Amino acid sequence: MPSNPQILLASRPRGAATVENFRLVVGDTPPLEDGQVLVRHHYLSLDPYMRGRMNEGKSYAASQPLGEVMMGGTVGEVLESRNPRYAPGDKVVGMGGWQEYAVVDANAPGALRKVDGSQVPLSYYLGAVGMPGVTAWYGLTQIIAPRAGETVTVSAATGAVGSAFVALAKARGCRVVGIAGGPEKCRYATEALGFDACIDHRQHGDVKSMSRALKEACPDGIDGHFENVGGTILDAVLLRANAFSRVALCGMIAGYDGAPLPLQNPALMLINRMRVQGFIVSEHMQLWPQALQELAGLVVAGQLHPRESIAQGLASAPAAFIGLLHGQNFGKQLVKLI
Ligand SMILES: NC(=O)c1ccc[n+]([C@@H]2O[C@H](COP(=O)([O-])OP(=O)(O)OC[C@H]3O[C@@H](n4cnc5c(N)ncnc54)[C@H](OP(=O)(O)O)[C@@H]3O)[C@@H](O)[C@H]2O)c1
Residue 186 CA, ligand 1 centroid: distance in Å: 15
Contact 245, 205 (CB under 8 A): no
Residue 158 CA, ligand 1 centroid: distance in Å: 9
Contact 67, 9 (CB under 8 A): yes
Pocket lining for ligand 1, CB < 6 angstroms: 47-49, 132, 135, 156, 158-162, 180-181, 185, 201, 228-229, 250-251, 253-254, 279-281, 324, 327, 329, 332-333
Residue 160 CA, ligand 1 centroid: distance in Å: 8
Residue 228 CA, ligand 1 centroid: distance in Å: 5
Using 50, 70 and 90 to split pLDDT, how confident is the model at 62? Answer: confident
Which residue from 208, 211, 207 is spatially nearest to 221, judged by alpha carbons?
211
- pLDDT score at 102: 98
For the CA of 162, the closest atom of ligand 1 is 16
Which residue from 132, 203, 115, 200 is spatially nearest to 166, judged by alpha carbons?
132
For the CA of 329, the closest atom of ligand 1 is 43
Residue 332 CA, ligand 1 centroid: distance in Å: 10
Three-state secondary structure call for residue 166: helix
- pLDDT score at 165: 98
Whether residue 192 is predicted with pLDDT greater than 80 in this model: the reply is yes
For the CA of 279, the closest atom of ligand 1 is 1
Whether residue 261 is predicted with pLDDT greater than 80 in this model: the reply is yes
- pLDDT score at 303: 95
Q: Whose CA is nearest to atom 6 of ligand 1?
A: 132
Q: Which residues contact 30 (CB under 8 A, 6 or more apart)?
A: 1, 103
User: Distance from CA of residue 184 to its chain's centroid?
Assistant: 20
For the CA of 135, the closest atom of ligand 1 is 5
- Tell me the average pLDDT of the chain: 96
pTM for this entry: 0.97
Q: Whose CA is nearest to atom 19 of ligand 1?
A: 159
Alpha carbons 190 and 187: distance in angstroms, whole number:
6
Domain with CATH 3.40.50.720 in the chain: 131-282
Strand partners of residue 310: 334
Domain with CATH 3.90.180.10 in the chain: 3-127+307-336
Residue 89 CA, ligand 1 centroid: distance in Å: 33
For the CA of 278, the closest atom of ligand 1 is 1
Measured in Å, how far apart are the chain's first and last C-alpha atoms? 17
| Residue 31 per-residue DSSP state | P
Residue 286 CA, ligand 1 centroid: distance in Å: 24
Residue 229 CA, ligand 1 centroid: distance in Å: 6
In total, the chain counts a number of residues equal to: 338
Using 50, 70 and 90 to split pLDDT, how confident is the model at 288? Answer: very high
Angular region, 156: left φ>0, alpha ψ -120 to 50, beta rest: left
Which residue from 108, 120, 112, 79 is spatially nearest to 93, judged by alpha carbons?
112
**Sheet holding 197-200: strands in order across?**
197-200, 175-180, 151-155, 222-227, 241-249, 275-278
Alpha carbons 284 and 162: distance in angstroms, whole number:
19
pLDDT tens readout for residues 72-124 = 999 999 999 999 999 999 999 999 999 999 999 999 998 999 999 998 999 99
- pLDDT score at 57: 81
Whether residue 305 is predicted with pLDDT greater than 90 in this model: the reply is no
Whether residue 60 is predicted with pLDDT greater than 90 in this model: the reply is no
Alpha carbons 255 and 52: distance in angstroms, whole number:
10
Whether residue 58 is predicted with pLDDT greater than 80 in this model: the reply is no
* DSSP line for 186-230: HHHIIIII--SEEEETTTS-SHHHHHHHHHHH-TT-EEEEEESS-
- pLDDT score at 216: 98
pLDDT tens readout for residues 193-252 = 999 999 999 999 999 999 999 999 999 999 999 999 999 999 999 999 999 999 999 999
Contact 217, 239 (CB under 8 A): no
Whether residue 162 is predicted with pLDDT greater than 90 in this model: the reply is yes
From 55, 188, 228, 322, give the residue whose CB has the most ligand 1 atoms within 8 Å, as the site to mutate: 228
Whether residue 258 is predicted with pLDDT greater than 90 in this model: the reply is no
- pLDDT score at 159: 97
Whether residue 61 is predicted with pLDDT greater than 90 in this model: the reply is no
On whether the 3-127+307-336 domain is CATH 3.90.180.10, my answer is: yes
Alpha carbons 71 and 60: distance in angstroms, whole number:
15
- What sign does the CA torsion over 8, 322, 318, 328 have? positive
On whether the 131-282 domain is CATH 3.40.50.2020, my answer is: no
For 170-173, the CB contacts below 8 A with 24+ separation are 170/194, 170/303, 171/298, 171/303, 172/140, 172/146, 172/148, 173/148, 173/149
Q: Which residues contact 16 (CB under 8 A, 6 or more apart)?
A: 257, 325
